[in-house]
Structure 1
Amino acid sequence: MSKAEYSYPEDEFDVPSNPDVPRGVHRAPRSAWSRWWPFAVVLVVAPVLAFTLVNLAARDGNLPALPGTSNPAVEPSPEAPTEGETAAETPPVEEPVAPQPVMDTPIVVLNAAGIGGLAAEQAEELTTAGFTAVTTGNIEATTDDSVVYYASEDQKVTADLVAQTLGVATVTAGAPNGGTAITVVLVTDPDA
């Protein structure tokens, strides 16, 4: 049936006051802008928002690195060579920290000189220097010079400090009595 053959008069539903309101049972066609604005938002606003978020994350240094790549925000860039340097020079490598003496290592001071109180006097010097586990004793002389013996390589630094403190020139690996302590055998008075 065509509109010309329609026998009923027009009423308020057939004549809309606004072109966007429904007309009869059908709606008016949508404008082009109402169809395209969601795409405009996705194409313009979403990249701007992503750009802003990436810049904020880069400012904090919190960007994740892709596998197999480096993150320049985390890794320092090599500095340009200064005047007098060449680009081929490499930065100096940090030296390993030297081992420190262990002041609570057991130390036995043995008197082989036959001088009364020599071991106790030298043990007192070690205690004054900061050693905390010093004992004394007597032994028969087996060498001509005073010697500091250490039982293991990790005691070498401590044994060197003991020898320096007492003024003993010889430091040797291996204890005369087979113990685990640093052993000082005094054949002469180091202070004399």
Structure 2
Amino acid sequence: MAQDDYDYPEDEFDVLGNDRTPAAVHRAPRPWWRVWGPLIAVVVLAPLIAYGLVQLGTGGDTDPEPAATSSEQPAETEAPPEGEESTAPTEGESTPAPEETTPVEPEAPPIDQAVEVRVLNGAGVSGLAGRVGDTVSADGWTTVVPGNYTSPQPQDSTIFYNNADLLDEAQALGELLGIGPIVELADVPAITVVLRPDFEE
């Protein structure tokens, strides 16, 4: 308001006012930490607060529990009571292999050397039946009857037996005298040995 338009008489306040010069209002500059402090606090503290919340939620255990694997140590075997020896083989000690048992063949029934054995000379060699009969008797046969044989058959020395029960006895005589052909023939008495020229004493 201009002084000329002022309707009231000048007083002491007006005198003081005339001595003053109006000045603009200015604020002093704020320090940097008041400007950047809140931003720095947000950037730094926000991750720390989030980390703390995660720790509280997980109970502070950040390492995942290791999964069980098949490489776990085997359970320790229970030691035998004191005073008792363990029957399990120790390391490096091999379990002996079971012995192989050879099956025992059943023994053949003993031959009947009391059966009648006729030794017939069909070789034309004098005294052959008697000598062969002595050989048979010396082997343990108790009923040996020597004699002569005139039939043209068989052509080779042969042992005849009259039933299957005497097969073992006939084979035993064949081994003793070296005669191969052994024939079952019901018409002969017991066992008959026919000697031919091929027979060797």
TM-score by length of 2: 0.46
Structure exhibiting the larger radius of gyration computed from Cα positions: 2
TM-score by length of 1: 0.48
